[in-house]
Amino acid sequence: MDKQKVVLAYSGGLDTSVAIQWLRERHDLDVVALAIDVGQLRQDLEMVREKALGIGAVESIVRDVKTEYVDDFVSKALQANALYENKYPLVSALSRPIIVKHLVEEAHRQGAHYIAHGCTGKGNDQVRFEVGIMALDPDLGVLAPVRDWGMTREESMEYAKERGIPVPTTSESPYSIDDNLWGRAIECGVLEDPWTEPPEDIYVMTSAARTAADESEYVEISFREGLPVALDGRIMGLEEIVTGLNDVAGSHGFGRIDMIENRLVGLKSREIYEVPGALALIEAHKALEDVCLERDLLHYKLGVEQKWAELVYNGLWFSPLKEALDGFIESTQQLVTGDVKLRFFKGSCVVVGRRSDYSLYDYELATYDEADTFDHAASKGFIDLWGLPTKVWAHQRKRAGHEGEV
Ligand code: ARG
């Protein structure tokens, strides 16, 4: 009888390589390895594909989903100005749901009953994988070999050597790194001491501000309905815009984050991120919204943005609330069309100009010059009524013998 199948989210690293053998040995399953290309830097995915076959996967697939990733995931994060804890643009949190989607599709195609991932038991990613899989197909079984086997790194190296699985030969980076088009996350090693300044050599997308160019550089980003469509007047696809901005912003030393973050599983962790393009785009998008969104909508959206980021961080991309908030966010973007000018210089990114055909900024209302059309006299009545409840209350407080406290 044919063995049952498992589709494994494969990265080519030691853990998921050992997992191929482990799933065969311990669970007696045929392993289909699936590597998803979301724009990881410095990875030869053809080698990754062959490696899985060499270890004993019955099939090994590499799927390039970059276009889908920017169109359906990055674009939503940008329109939501999504920053978890007001800082982190969801790099890993954003890529997990698209990986999950392709794992589930592949499981269906293969008639597999299981999906496996290589996450440990301590992070957010295990939650994102498993809750995502539940949402898309609650009948699929999930296996988490790395969480289950409880081997230290040395033990898994030993396990790999005994079974002829290639182990990293060069002295491997002491960091745990995850990256995609939207940025790069770096953790572990010396970074686990929150007092230790990150060593310069962990960075690959961003230069140090002090060695960055001595000249500032301006970039104009054009948006249409909340999405960037051109850089410096040149029409481009979103993927090209993101990678282009990663280069420009990164070369000026912009886009590094060093933060303590609250993981869903309850612990705080020290995280370093390189997110030059993501942060520059979010800054620009916010600046355009400042002129295009009506006040109440803008203020309300700020709360929605925070909730959206939290849901996605917490593994609830595929959830009814997140989907409903998508609907809200999309409807806010109808008139977010126009241009934003950014200036990069030695680690900074500053918005220096914004314009839109739909701008709600009205010069004649805002100016202090002669062109002023704002009705100054109307402010008197406005303040009287706006302040009325406060005034009535102040009278009562005074009558009760309490003077205003300052
Ligand atoms: N702390 C970040 C998050 O939860 C980054 C996780 C990076 N993942 C990794 N396997 N290194 O989104």
Whether residue 51 is found in the same domain as residue 163: yes
- Give the closest residue (by CA) to ligand 1 atom 10: 178
Is 224 inside any structural domain?
yes
Task: Give the orientation angle of helix 91-110 with respect to helix 295-313, to 10 degrees.
Answer: 60
Detail the DSSP E strand segments found in 208-289: 217-224, 227-231, 234-235, 256-262, 268-274
- Residue 96 CA: distances (Å) to CA of 40, 101, 343: 13, 9, 32
62 CA → ligand 1 middle, Å = 22
The CATH number assigned to the domain holding 217 equals 3.90.1260.10
Whether residue 95 is found in the same domain as residue 215: no
With beta carbons less than 8 A apart as the criterion, state whether 129 and 9 touch.
Answer: yes
- Residue 45 CA: distances (Å) to CA of 10, 36, 67, 247: 11, 9, 17, 22
Looking only at the bridges linking them, the beta strands covering 59-64 and 141-143 are unpaired
Q: What's the pLDDT at 319? A: 98
Is 303 inside any structural domain?
no
The CATH number assigned to the domain holding 63 equals 3.40.50.620
Domain boundaries, position 157? 5-172
pLDDT surpasses 90 at 347: yes
Whether residue 206 is found in the same domain as residue 84: no
Average pLDDT over residues 84-96: 98
Whether residue 147 is found in the same domain as residue 227: no
Whether residue 368 is found in the same domain as residue 256: no
C-alpha closest to that of 73 among 102, 93, 43, 45: 93
- Our separate counts of H helices and E strands in the chain read 15, 14
The CATH number assigned to the domain holding 369 equals 1.20.5
Residue with the bigger pLDDT between 170 and 377: it is 377
Q: Give the pair of three-digit tokens for residue 164.
A: 């002829």
In the chain, the number of structural domains is 3
C-alpha closest to that of 329 among 86, 76, 95: 76
- Give the closest residue (by CA) to ligand 1 atom 8: 178
Is 299 inside any structural domain?
no
With beta carbons less than 8 A apart as the criterion, state whether 87 and 50 touch.
Answer: no
C-alpha closest to that of 220 among 155, 166, 284: 284
Residue of 122, 125, 261, 265 with the most ligand 1 atoms within 8 Å of its CB, for mutation: 125
124 lines ligand 1 (CB under 6 A): yes
Whether residue 30 is found in the same domain as residue 74: yes
- Give the closest residue (by CA) to ligand 1 atom 2: 92
Whether residue 159 is found in the same domain as residue 238: no
Whether residue 164 is found in the same domain as residue 249: no
Query: What DSSP string runs through 245-265?
Result: HHHHHHHTT--EEEEEEE-TT
With beta carbons less than 8 A apart as the criterion, state whether 201 and 195 touch.
Answer: no
314 lines ligand 1 (CB under 6 A): no
With beta carbons less than 8 A apart as the criterion, state whether 223 and 339 touch.
Answer: yes
235-294 residue pLDDT tens:
999 999 999 999 999 999 999 999 999 999 999 999 999 999 999 999 999 999 999 999
- Closest ligand 1 atom, CA of 269? 1
Secondary structure of 53-90 in the HEC alphabet? HHHCCCEEEEEECHHHHHHHHHHHHHHCCCCECCCECC
120 CA → ligand 1 middle, Å = 11
Q: What's the pLDDT at 152? A: 86
Q: What's the pLDDT at 405? A: 65
Distance CA 76, CA 78 (A): 5
C-alpha closest to that of 145 among 284, 33, 226: 33
Is 327 inside any structural domain?
no
Whether residue 210 is found in the same domain as residue 162: no
Place of tokens 């295990």: 126
Q: What is the dihedral angle through the alpha carbons of 166, 204, 125, 87, rounded to the nearest 10 degrees?
A: 170
What is the pTM (predicted TM-score) of this model?
A: 0.96
Which one from 17, 24, 92, 125 is the annotated catalytic residue? 125
pLDDT surpasses 90 at 217: yes
Is 66 inside any structural domain?
yes
Average pLDDT over residues 291-316: 98
- Give the closest residue (by CA) to ligand 1 atom 9: 178
Distance CA 17, CA 248 (A): 35
- Closest ligand 1 atom, CA of 125? 4
Q: What's the pLDDT at 189? A: 92
Strand, helix or coil for residue 3 = coil
382 CA → ligand 1 middle, Å = 50
Is 187 inside any structural domain?
yes
Which of 172, 207, 237 is the last residue before a domain boundary?
172
187 lines ligand 1 (CB under 6 A): yes
Average pLDDT, the chain: 96
Whether residue 164 is found in the same domain as residue 181: no
Distance CA 406, CA 391 (A): 16
Which one from 24, 96, 184, 270 is the annotated catalytic residue? 96
Residue of 40, 96, 124 with the most ligand 1 atoms within 8 Å of its CB, for mutation: 124
Is 320 inside any structural domain?
no
Whether residue 9 is found in the same domain as residue 106: yes
With beta carbons less than 8 A apart as the criterion, state whether 102 and 65 touch.
Answer: yes
127-177 residue pLDDT tens:
999 999 999 999 999 999 999 998 888 898 899 999 999 887 665 678 999
17 CA → ligand 1 middle, Å = 19
Whether residue 131 is found in the same domain as residue 191: no
Q: Which helix (DSSP H) or strand (DSSP E) does residue 133 occupy?
A: helix 125-136
Which of 117, 149, 172 is the last residue before a domain boundary?
172
Active site residue 125: yes
126 lines ligand 1 (CB under 6 A): no
Is 304 inside any structural domain?
no
Which of 111, 137, 172 is the last residue before a domain boundary?
172
With beta carbons less than 8 A apart as the criterion, state whether 137 and 29 touch.
Answer: no
Q: What's the pLDDT at 339? A: 98
